[in-house]
Structure 1
C-alpha cells in the first residue's frame, strides 16, 4: 500500500473563524508517533466494540495485531469495517485523528517481517515478534496482523483555534 494524498477540507460548521485545515502530512505524523490507538469494530449483533491497542503506520496503512480468538479478530472476520483513533486527550491542545477504513489481513511474510521490525523499534524488545505461517508469533502465541488504509479521516485540532478537518482518499 502506498501513501495516498487525500482531498483535505476544513468543515467550517465545526471550526473557529480563523481555523485552517490540518494537513494530511501532520496527521500522518501523529499516526506514526502515537503509542496508543483506539480500535472500534462491529460485533456480529451490530453493537460497537472499542479497545486500545498499539500499532505501526507503514506503507500507507495503520497496522495492528490481535490473537485469532480475541473479540476484535472475531468482529473483523464478520465485518472488516473499522475505525482507528488517536490523539491528545486535552481540551485545549493537540490534534485528534480518526481513520475509517477496512481491515485487511496481512499474510505476506516479507511485509510481516518489516512490520515486526517496526514494532520492536517503536515499542522495544518486549514487543518482539517472529513471523511464521502468515502471522506474528511470540511467547503468548499467534497474532494476526491487519492493515487499515484510510478511506476517510477526520482531524480535530485545538491549538488556539478549533478546527475540524476531513480527509477523503
Structure 2
C-alpha cells in the first residue's frame, strides 16, 4: 500500500516559539516500534473505556486484536470510532502520539496472516497466532483483529514543546 503523506501543521498555540513540526516519518517510526499502546473506545452508555494493548503498524495502519467478548470489542461493534495513543511517561523529553480513526475488522485470510506474522516478528514467538475463520486463534482463544488507519493524528513533542497535527 502506498504511503499516505498527511497534511502537517504545527499548532503555535501549544508550541514553544522555537518548535518545528514533527515529521510524519518520525511519528510513523515510533508507531512501528512502540511496544505498548492505549486504546480508547466509547461504551454504549457514552462513558469512556481505556485499556492498554499490543499493536503492530502495517500497511499504514495500526492493527490490534481482542477477544470478541471483551469490553473494547463490544464497544467497537456499537461505535467503531476510537483513539490509540503511545509515548513516554516523562515530561521533559520524547514524543507522545495520538491516532484517531475507525477500527475496522480484518477478516480476510491473507491480511490476517500478514498481521499475525507482524505480531510474531515484533513481540516474539509468545505472540504467535494461527488464522482461522476470519480471526486469530492462539493460546487465549479466538481474537478479532482490527485495523485503524489514521484520519487525524497528533504528536506532542516534549522538551521544546510542540504540537503537530497530521490530517489524512
TM-score between the two structures when normalised by the length of structure 2: 0.98
2:163 is matched with 164
1:119 is matched with 119
Superposed, which structure 2 residues align to 1:70-149 within 5 Å? Answer: 70-149=70-149
User: Which digits, 9 at most, give the CA deviation of each residue in 1:92-112, with x for residues without a partner?
Assistant: 010000000000000011111
Superposed, which structure 2 residues align to 1:5-16 within 5 Å? Answer: 5-16=5-16
The CA distance in 2 between the partners of 1:91 and 1:118, in whole Å, is: 31
Deviates more, 1:135-144 or 1:68-77: 135-144
Superposition deviation, residue 2 in structure 1: 4.3
1:65 is matched with 65
Superposed, which structure 2 residues align to 1:25-36 within 5 Å? Answer: 25-36=25-36
Q: SS at 1:113's partner residue? A: helix
User: Which digits, 9 at most, give the CA deviation of each residue in 1:131-159, with x for residues without a partner?
Assistant: 0011000122100000000000100001x
Assess if the C-alpha contact under 8 Å between 1:129 and 1:136 holds in 2.
yes
TM-score between the two structures when normalised by the length of structure 1: 0.97
Unaligned runs of 5+ in 1: none
Tell me which stretches of 4 or more aligned residues in structure 1 moved more than 2 Å: none
The CA distance in 1 between the partners of 2:130 and 2:87, in whole Å, is: 29
Assess if the C-alpha contact under 8 Å between 1:3 and 1:61 holds in 2.
no
Q: SS at 1:150's partner residue? A: coil
Superposition deviation, residue 3 in structure 1: 3.0
The CA distance in 1 between the partners of 2:36 and 2:140, in whole Å, is: 20
